[in-house]
Amino acid sequence: MELIEVKITALGSEGQGIGSLPSGKTCFVSGVFPGEVCLCELENETSKYAVCNAVEVIKESPDRTAPFRPADEVSGGLPFACLSYEAQLKFKETRVRDCLTRIGGFDEDLLKAVFRPVLGAEKPLRYRNHMQYAIRDGEVGLLCGKSDTLGDYDSELIEYEIFEKIKDMARGCFDRAPTRLFDGLVLRGSLRTKQILVEFVSSQDGPHEVILRDAERYFETTHLFDNICDTCEDNGYVLNGFLFRISPSKTSKRTRTGVRTIYSGIDYYDETFCGRTFRIKAGSFFQVNTEQAEKLANKASQACSGSRVIYDFYCGCGTLGLAVKQKGQKLLGIEVVPEAIQSAKINRSLSLDEQEASECEFICKDVLKADFAQLIKSGKILPPDVIIVDPPRKGLDIGVVKKVMELNSPKICYISCDPATLARDLKMITREYKIEEVTPVDLFPNSSHIETAVILSKSTQDGQ
């Protein structure tokens, strides 16, 4: 196949390099960075753009920290594994700015006034408290992009050291006793409480009782459970729970649901977050970078300072609201997932004393279906002084934006994991609110993702 020379001039939203074909058509190339010139093979072409695979870099960027390797040889999810951390932060800060100007329509003068420098990680290595590995032919690792094959990656860039040791121990067991029973391994835990959760995953779709029997027999005969226990203890950790999950569908694997069984111990671990204790159950959401998530919480706390009543939409297990709540403040958490609300109520008791806990209420309800006006009128809840919204990547439903604005809260704190949907939502919200501060926070070093905390206050006049 003919090789095409492409000069990379920018980075895309997913961290891929952007250049131009000789025809002038925009092309996307994974694994390369601005300033680099590479030789590429054409993979796919549409009327508007092309996707190419780099096979060689003939001119390297000064920001590159390791030699180039083709995208099909390395694990996905870490497009910036070979990019200096300083350059990573520059890209992420620029991405947030570009989305706010291009999608949100905010002018540069405003952004100069409200934009704060990106909050990077002091230690951008070994930061993830949650790893989801694939198991293929006895190997345990991360998949290459959207393929089903494992690729190489530098474990120091992402996973806790104890996770690496458990993973290597499991791989050794599969070498000695090959099996096709498992195709996933989920490790979660805390460097602070030294508690670990281990969960093996099977996608087999046979009778559950048969799959469970075979898994238990494998754990016992190979001493896999005992060896993982010893690995944890030898490194100063406690194995809180050893679980097995049957997730035969793609959806159940992606959402970490299915038939979950506790082989030994319990199905949760405790984490210390913002000086308070939280219980993290298997399958539940918790930010993967504990230290950086505390910086996000500090921004939310800044927005909530001096408020009497805090509403926390998409509260999940209650982590953010409970972390920022101060004595005397009332907290109302709203979440549609029943299991998350149950966890939030447990965390309320764990993280707060009896008096403060009595000031918190968690409601299992879809924000879109909640009649806040009626609840306030009936005296069941007080009107908010600040609303925290921490939606999934798709951002806020337009109906939720309307709900937020109808509540007429003096302040809003928007925590976003996607700059594009954040900019879209802010364009609507700023019809009645003004942006006080925008702060990107890097929770995902070596990836292209970025979180952003935005503080808004009720505008005294139309627009910004």
What residues are labeled active site? 417
Q: At what angle do helices 419-429 and 398-407 cross, to 10 degrees?
A: 40
Q: With 0-12 CB in 10 A as exposed, 13-18 as middle and 19+ as buried, what is 23? A: exposed
Q: With 0-12 CB in 10 A as exposed, 13-18 as middle and 19+ as buried, what is 155? A: middle
Tally DSSP H helices, then E strands, for the chain.
13, 21
Q: Is 311 left (phi over 0), alpha (psi -120 to 50) or beta?
A: beta
Residue 187 CA: distances (Å) to CA of 102, 135, 268, 461: 39, 13, 12, 50
Q: Give yes or no for a contact between 319 and 308, defined as CB atoms under 8 angstroms apart.
A: no
Q: Report the alpha-carbon distance of residue 444 to residue 461 in Å, rounded.
A: 37
CA atoms in the 13 A half-sphere facing the CB of 2: 5
Q: Give yes or no for a contact between 21 and 6, defined as CB atoms under 8 angstroms apart.
A: yes
Q: Report the alpha-carbon distance of residue 418 to residue 415 in Å, rounded.
A: 9
